[in-house]
Amino acid sequence: MLNYYSYEHITSTQWVTFVHGAGGSSAIWYKQVREFKKHFNVLILDLRGHGDSKSILKTPFQKKYTFDAITEDILEVISHLKITKSHFVGISLGTILIRNLAEKKPDLVKSMIMGGAIIKLNLRSRFLIFMGNLCKSIIPYMLLYKLFAFIIMPKKNHKKSRSLFVNEAKKLYQKEFLRWFKLTAEINPLLRVFRMKDLKIPTLYIMGEEDHLFLPSIKNVVEKHVKASLVVIQKCGHVVNVEKATIFNTKTIKYIHSIA
């Protein structure tokens, strides 16, 4: 089972589950946990090979890494804690996992909050992945990760979130990074389904106005999905929960209360 941390509220029956992105860990939610604990029951976890899950997961490392398999890891923790319904908050690739989970277990998902959401890869994103696949066996993985982080978060005001993700990624092993990178082969077909199929689950996309790779496609999806809404945070890049934590917390907590 994945490493996780759960915090139970004295009166609230609402659960909020946080899912980080590739190369991150539960540590990236450090600006959210204190505030969310005041209102809800909170679950944060480390995906396989990340954070403290890398030291407790052994057998799953030998299995093929797929979005379905990693989604099942999350569901195993939720089942273990006997959570029957939860709001889900994700960042970056974590939003893909949440959307995949909602596809499989829609009754479990009360709402989805998608920070720095990925719903479509533009030409630049696809070229990045192509070059990564081309070079992943010859370039040290941290050099590749730093390059990706800089392209996704290029501005001076993105430096803090860029450094956070790079420092967390340093805790991965080379082999683990490559296992996760192979998931890129699944992304395009999966995202195509997500764009076409509206699950009609309340969904808040919360994006930085400077998230140049992913924001345009989110705007298109929000126009088509009936229960989707979008908040764009000014002077902010991809990792909205770190760069603009106060705004992120205020908007998302208010949204969850409106659903609950």
Nearest to 131 by CA among 119, 152, 148: 148
Position 119 scores a pLDDT of 94
- CB burial of 159-185 (b: ≥16 within 10 Å; e: otherwise) equals eebbebbbebbebbeeebbebbbebbe
Residue 196, domain extent: 4-120+185-259
| Two structure tokens written together for 56 | 């407790």
Type of residue numbered 2: L
**Residue 140 maps to a domain:** no
Better pLDDT: 156 or 197: 197
Which two tokens mark 52?
């403290």
Strand 15-19 with 41-45, pairing: parallel
Residue 82: other Cβ atoms inside 10 A: 6
Residue-level pLDDT at 221: 95
In a domain, 179, yes or no: no
CB 205 within 8 A of CB 231: yes
Residue 114 lies in a domain: yes
In angstroms, rounded to a whole number, what is the distance separating the alpha carbons of residues 88 and 111? 6
- The model's pLDDT over 37-90, given as tens digits with 9 standing for 90+, comes to 999 999 999 999 888 887 554 454 456 789 999 999 999 999 999 999 999 999
Q: What percent helix, strand, coil does the chain show, rounded to 5?
A: 55, 15, 30
CATH number of the structural domain spanning residue 108: 3.40.50.1820
Asked if residue 87 is part of any domain, the answer here is: yes
In a domain, 125, yes or no: no
